[in-house]
Amino acid sequence: MDAELTVGRLDEFADGELVTVDVGGHALIVARLGDVVHVAVNRCPHLGLSLTRGPGGLRYSDGVVQCPWHNSRFDMCTGENLDWVSGFAGRRVPRWSRQLVALGRKRRDLKMLPARIADGRVVVVVGSTGQPPE
Binding site for ligand FES (CB under 6 A): 44, 46-47, 49, 67, 69-70, 72, 85
* Calpha distance 117→41 (Å, rounded): 18
Q: How far is the CB of 5 from ligand FES (least distance, A)?
A: 25
Q: How many CB atoms lie within 10 A of CB 19?
A: 19
The values of phi and psi at residue 84, to 5°, are: -115, 115
Is 56 or 63 the residue whose CB approaches ligand FES more closely? 56
Q: How far is the CB of 69 from ligand FES (least distance, A)?
A: 4
Whether 108 and 40 have beta carbons less than 8 Å apart is answered as no
Q: How far is the CB of 4 from ligand FES (least distance, A)?
A: 28
Is 5 or 40 the residue whose CB approaches ligand FES more closely? 40
Is 11 or 96 the residue whose CB approaches ligand FES more closely? 96
Nearest to 19 by CA among 2, 1, 35, 32: 32
53 burial type by CB count under 10 A (0-12 exposed, 13-18 middle, 19+ buried): middle
Q: How far is the CB of 123 from ligand FES (least distance, A)?
A: 27
Is 49 or 117 the residue whose CB approaches ligand FES more closely? 49
